[in-house]
Amino acid sequence: MSIDTAVDIATPTSDTHLTIPVAIVGFGWMGRVHAQAYARVRHHYPTLRPLPKLSVIADELGDRAQAAAEQFDVASVVTDWRDVIADNTIRAVSVTAPNFLHREIGVAVANAGKHLWIEKPVGLSAADARAVADAASDAGVVTAVGFNYRNVPAVEAAREMIAAGEIGEITHARFRLFSDYAAHPDGALTWRYSRDRGGNGVLGDLASHGADLVWYLLGDIDSLIADTATFITERSKPTGATAGHQLAVGGERGPVENEDYVSAQLRLASGARCVLEASRVSVGEQNSYGFEIHGTKGIVRWDYRRMGELEVGTGGAYQDQSVATRYVGPGAGDYAAFQPGAANPMGYDDLKVIEAARFCASIAGPERLGANILDAVRSAEVLDAMSESVRSGTWVSPVRV
Ligand SMILES: NC(=O)c1ccc[n+]([C@@H]2O[C@H](COP(=O)([O-])OP(=O)(O)OC[C@H]3O[C@@H](n4cnc5c(N)ncnc54)[C@H](O)[C@@H]3O)[C@@H](O)[C@H]2O)c1
């Protein structure tokens, strides 16, 4: 990618050639990860301009925002995100608030002419993601979306192998996103479990990443049939502020309104067949994300928990073909920005540094790098199709919104 040669054409006011003032709205888990990523961009991409400068933190919890501002040396704290929109010094905004706020805040950010880095799934439905995409397109602002798993250098290497035909024509594939973050029956009934605020549960949380990876690696999905389930149907309401996934014991109980589990069979436009399965209640599965992709001449497998490795089987054996571990290194995606040689493990936060760098480089232009709002629309169309398939019990094609 051309990050190193990017030049600043996006910030016409003072201090412009070096930095772009950014704000973060919502300082829970993801807000913190975005803040760390903005801070580290200069460490890993020293020649990139503009560099982000975190200048405002917004969270409805004033204490949380204030503590974060002290930790990250940020001058301004607000509790109403509209103050970020009204702040003319802010040129780019991270939206890391709960899903139900994505549409309203995302549209407002774009309408104000500010660049937008927004977390997946971007709202509660494809219509929400499309509303943000249209606002961004009308305003001509740059967008980035948190499909961080496609930033993994090994995933990018797998994509190149597949595109180069190293494993032949793709026949079938499995994508899994299993987690235990909601497996504890005492997990607090946060915004995630409400349809109005969290949307379609594990579909938006995890299957959204899966739908993006299927497209990124294998292309368009032609049709699908899906099944969903909610296994833990009630949880205790939290009595105080929450961030991420916390326990709440003994409080008033309320209903879980969205999906714990989804499985889907996909027919790809290429003719390949695919299985995508996601669960937030898999005991014993911690961030067990990955894929296995089969072709007429080989196989490539990847597991997020061994992020820098691919298992690859290629050659002409067909039967009894051996499979070997390939450690990715410089040359695979943005690996070289982090480590000088293969098999030095990268971590989750590094993926967000890559995302932040691509966002800044896209602002500099002219290339658009990384996942953007149109990728969020495409992923959400697949999730909507899954819900429609469950409702109708039939094969469904994703509807373009
Ligand atoms: N890309 C990924 O891998 C990934 C991982 C986790 C979460 N996410 C996404 O990030 C988003 C946030 O998830 P999280 O786990 O950080 O949630 P969280 O609950 O930890 O944090 C949400 C924060 O938003 C704040 N907030 C709520 N309402 C607000 C308002 N009106 N104005 C300002 N702040 C408000 C809360 O106080 C909280 O601090 C979700 O959309 C989620 O899907 C993405």
Report the DSSP pairing between strands 170-178 and 92-95. unpaired
Residue 244 CB less than 6 A away from ligand 1: yes
Ligand 1 center to 98 CA (angstroms): 4
Task: Output phi, psi for 303, to 5 deg.
Answer: -125, 125
Atom number in ligand 1 closest to CA 244? 20
**Cβ 248 vs Cβ 326: under 8 Å:** no
Residue 289 CB less than 6 A away from ligand 1: no
Question: Which pair of tokens denotes residue 208?
Answer: 């959204």
Q: What is the mean pLDDT of residues 71-100?
A: 97
The per-residue pLDDT for range 338-380, each reduced to its tens digit, is: 999 999 999 999 999 999 999 999 999 999 999 999 999 999 9
The yes-or-no verdict on residue 173 having pLDDT over 90 is yes
Ligand 1 center to 356 CA (angstroms): 17
Contacts of 384 (CB under 8 A, 6+ apart): 125, 126, 398, 399, 401
Give ranges for CATH 3.30.360.10 in the chain: 153-306+308-344+372-392
Q: What angle do CA 325, 330, 335 make, to 5 degrees?
A: 90
pLDDT of residue 5: 33
Nearest residue (by CA) to ligand 1, atom 27, is: 97
The yes-or-no verdict on residue 87 having pLDDT over 70 is yes
Question: What's the number of CA atoms in the CB half-sphere (13 Å) around residue 177?
Answer: 23
pLDDT of residue 145: 98
pTM: 0.95
Atom number in ligand 1 closest to CA 97? 24
The per-residue pLDDT for range 143-158, each reduced to its tens digit, is: 999 999 999 999 999 9
Ligand 1 center to 95 CA (angstroms): 8
Pocket test for ligand 1, best of 30, 197, 375 (most atoms within 8 A of CB): 30
Q: Reduce the DSSP state of residue 291 to 3 states and report it.
A: strand
The per-residue pLDDT for range 193-207, each reduced to its tens digit, is: 999 999 999 999 999
Helix axes 373-392 and 208-218, enclosed angle (nearest 10)? 110
Give ranges for CATH 3.40.50.720 in the chain: 3-147
What's the pLDDT band for 17 if we cut at 50, 70, 90? low
Higher pLDDT, 17 or 25: 25
Cα dihedral sign for 256, 213, 129, 391?
A: negative
Cis peptide before 238 (omega within 30 of 0): no
Atom number in ligand 1 closest to CA 33? 16
Cis peptide before 121 (omega within 30 of 0): yes
Edge-to-edge strand ranges of the sheet holding 299-303: 221-229, 261-268, 273-279, 170-178, 288-295, 299-303, 309-313, 324-327
Pocket test for ligand 1, best of 56, 59, 354 (most atoms within 8 A of CB): 59
pLDDT of residue 10: 38
**Distance between CA atoms of residues 90 and 54, nearest Å:** 9
Tell me the percentage of the chain whose pLDDT exceeds 90: 91
CA proximity to 161, closest of 284, 42, 314: 314
Residue 352 CB less than 6 A away from ligand 1: no
pLDDT of residue 251: 81
Pocket test for ligand 1, best of 24, 32, 60 (most atoms within 8 A of CB): 60
Integer CA distances (angstroms), 361 to 4, 252, 272, in order = 9, 48, 34
**Cβ 366 vs Cβ 122: under 8 Å:** no
The per-residue pLDDT for range 33-55, each reduced to its tens digit, is: 999 999 999 999 999 999 999 99
pLDDT of residue 76: 97
**Cβ 288 vs Cβ 175: under 8 Å:** no
Name the fold adopted by 153-306+308-344+372-392. Answer: Dihydrodipicolinate Reductase; domain 2 (3.30.360)
**Cβ 50 vs Cβ 18: under 8 Å:** yes
pLDDT of residue 11: 38
**Cβ 291 vs Cβ 172: under 8 Å:** no
Residue 59 CB less than 6 A away from ligand 1: yes
Ligand 1 center to 339 CA (angstroms): 30
Nearest residue (by CA) to ligand 1, atom 11, is: 96
Report the DSSP pairing between strands 115-118 and 92-95. parallel
Helix axes 153-163 and 208-218, enclosed angle (nearest 10)? 40
The yes-or-no verdict on residue 2 having pLDDT over 90 is no
Residue 120 CB less than 6 A away from ligand 1: yes
CATH number of 3-147: 3.40.50.720
Residue 236 CB less than 6 A away from ligand 1: no
Residue 148 CB less than 6 A away from ligand 1: yes
Strand positions, DSSP E, 230-272? 234-236, 253-255, 261-268
Mean pLDDT estimate for the chain: 94
Run of H or E residues at 195? helix 195-198
What's the pLDDT band for 18 if we cut at 50, 70, 90? confident
Atom number in ligand 1 closest to CA 61? 37
Contacts of 328 (CB under 8 A, 6+ apart): 153, 154, 157, 308, 309, 310, 335, 342
Residue 81 CB less than 6 A away from ligand 1: yes
